[in-house]
Amino acid sequence: MTAHTVPGPRPSAVLAARYARALDIAVVVAAAGWQLAGAGPLLLAHLGSYSSDQFQVAAWCAIALIIAAGSVLLLRGSSRRETGWALAAAALVISTAAAVACPPAQMLETNWAWGAAGWVGVLVLLRRPLAELGVFLTLEALAMFAVLARDGLHQPNVAAFITVLAGSTGIQVAISVAARTLDVPAQQAEQAATREADIAARQAVADQIRGARQARWLELRATAEPLLSGLAAGTADPADLAVQRACAVEAARLRRLFAEADDTPDPLVHELHACADIAQRRGVAVDIETAAQFPGTQPPGAQLSGTQPPGAQLSGIQLPAVPPEGRRAITDLAIAVLVNAISRVRVTVTGTVDGVIVSLVCDSPADPDLPSAAAGLVVDSQRDGQSLWVEGRWNTA
């Protein structure tokens, strides 16, 4: 069974892109959140204790701008090494300068710029190999250590430095690693979604088939029920030729209904055989022949191209596939002729370049009531004495 093909990108690709997008947004929120909720309040709390408040505020604003620029680049999908590293380097220089300008020996309390460069690094190097972030975070740690050394390497500060380093760098590295490992669950989710879509498509097809079958059954009931109740009530006389024909037509339609549910390589010929049965039971010899006309359909020996439409391989002949409504129209025509045949019917199905030609030649004294022409089926007939020729041409092109 084939699933419905959805035009546009594969659902899996859409899903993977959605995952990547969510992660980008999470990193942007984390970096911006750190700057606004972490570094911002720290700076505000210590305004007045810096040698130059304006310089610290300007540095904070510069970092904020860099985060904004990095966010835009990330959300736009840019992964250029030059821009990423330029922004990261600028953030490192600014945060180091801000740390240097902090009051001596109060580094831990007043330095809001701890870790700011690290977040910028995560933000702008997210789409770069993990090693690049490693290099950048090492540079940041060295810069911080240099600032501390210049400050005099107070023991509590060094301990705090290691704690801060372990904390912030740990989180940053964890997020970057997570961003990459998320690809695995993303693939699993992708497969699950594909399976789900497949099941949904199968379900839809099954529903359609069931619906169509239901509709056909209702249609049959509309014609078969009155006939049966007429026979039961005695209003329809079984000896009446018209009643016998009506019964034969309904029986053929029932047989066709059963045949329609079968899975066969050539449904049209299969359904014609089912319809022919009703004539054969009356002792009418029915002979069904298939042929392919050249130029047109591919024969067995010739190379079959991949674009070959699904068709039937019957007695070595490839027939073009006819949609259900076409088979309906063709078999309705065949039933109308078959119930009137006296002793012989020859049914031929000829595949052509643009469809199929179904013809019936039989001995039939009365002209059958041919069903009103269905859209797409061109019906033609000719009578020569007792012999009747009826042809239906279905265009699949």
Partner 1 sequence: MEHGVTVAIVDDHPVVVEGVISWISADPQRRITVTQVVSDITGLAWPRVADVLILDLELGGRMVTDEVAQLAASGYRIVAFSAHVDPALILDVLDAGAHAYVSKDEGREHLLEAVLAAAADRPCVTRSQAKAILADPRPGRPALSGKERQALLLWFQGMSKASVARRMSISENTVRQYIDRARVKYATLGRPAHTKDALLARAIEDGLILPGEVAPYTTFASRPRPALS
Residues from 199 through 258 that contact partner 1 (CB under 8 A):
none
| Shortest Å distance, C-beta 237 to partner 1 | 34
Task: Please give the single-letter amino acid code of residue 240.
Answer: D
Give dist(CA 320, CA 358) in Å, integer. Answer: 12
- The residue (of 66 and 319) whose beta carbon lies closer to partner 1 is 319
At 299, give phi and psi (nearest 5°): -85, 170
Nearest to 54 by CA among 98, 111, 108, 115: 98
Residues in 341-360 that interact with partner 1 by CB under 8 A: 346, 348, 350, 357, 359
Where on the phi/psi map is residue 376: left (φ > 0), alpha (ψ -120 to 50), or beta? left
Shortest distance in whole angstroms from residue 186 CB to partner 1:
50
Residue 387 interacts with partner 1 (CB under 8 A)? Answer: yes
In the bound state with partner 1, the residue whose beta carbon lies nearer, of 88 and 337, is 337
Confirm or reject binding of residue 365 to partner 1 (CB under 8 A): no
Of 290, 356, 359, 294, the residue nearest 321 (C-alpha): 356
Per DSSP bridges, beta strands 355-363 and 344-352 are antiparallel
Closest CB 335 distance from partner 1, rounded Å: 18
382 binds partner 1 (CB under 8 A): yes
Task: Name which of 79 and 382 has its Cβ closer to partner 1.
Answer: 382
For 315, counting Cβ atoms within 10 Å of its Cβ (0-12 exposed, 13-18 middle, 19+ buried), the class is: exposed
Q: In terms of Cα–Cα distance, which of 278, 259, 280 is closest to 268?
A: 259
Rounded to 10 deg, the angle between the 130-151 and 170-181 helix axes is 180
Amino acid in position 137: L
CB of 248 to partner 1, least distance (A): 22
Burial classification of residue 1, based on how many CB atoms lie within 10 Å of its CB (0-12 exposed, 13-18 middle, 19 or more buried): exposed
Q: Distance from first CA to last CA of the chain, Å, rounded?
A: 24
Paired with 349 in beta bridges are 290, 358
361 interacts with partner 1 by CB under 8 A: yes
Query: CB of 357: closest distance to partner 1 in angstroms?
Result: 7
> Whose Cβ is closer to partner 1: residue 165's or residue 345's?
345
CB of 282 to partner 1, least distance (A): 19
What's the distance, CA 244 to chain centroid? Answer: 51
Nearest residue (CB) to partner 1, 55 versus 294: 294
Report the nearest approach of partner 1 to the CB of residue 206 (Å). 37
Contact by Cβ (8 Å): 381, 389: yes
Question: In this complex, which beta carbon is closest to partner 1, that of residue 71 or of residue 350?
Answer: 350
Least spacing, CB of residue 356 vs partner 1, in Å: 12
Shortest reach from residue 299's CB to partner 1, in Å: 4
Give 229 or 315: the residue with its C-beta nearer to partner 1.
315
* 280-319 positions binding partner 1, by CB under 8 A: 287, 289, 291-294, 298-302, 315-317
Residue 241 beta carbon to partner 1: minimum distance, rounded to whole angstroms: 25
Count of residues touching partner 1 (by CB under 8 A): 25
Residue from 138, 114, 119 nearest 39 by CA: 114
Of 390, 339, 318, residue with least CA distance to 361: 390
82 contacts partner 1 (rule: CB under 8 A): no
Residue number, 262 or 367, with CB nearest to partner 1: 367
For partner 1, which stretch binds (CB under 8 A), given 86-94, 166-174, 213-221, 380-388? 380-388
Residues at the contact surface with partner 1, assessed by CB under 8 A: 287, 289, 291-294, 298-302, 315-317, 346, 348, 350, 357, 359, 361, 382, 384, 387, 389, 391
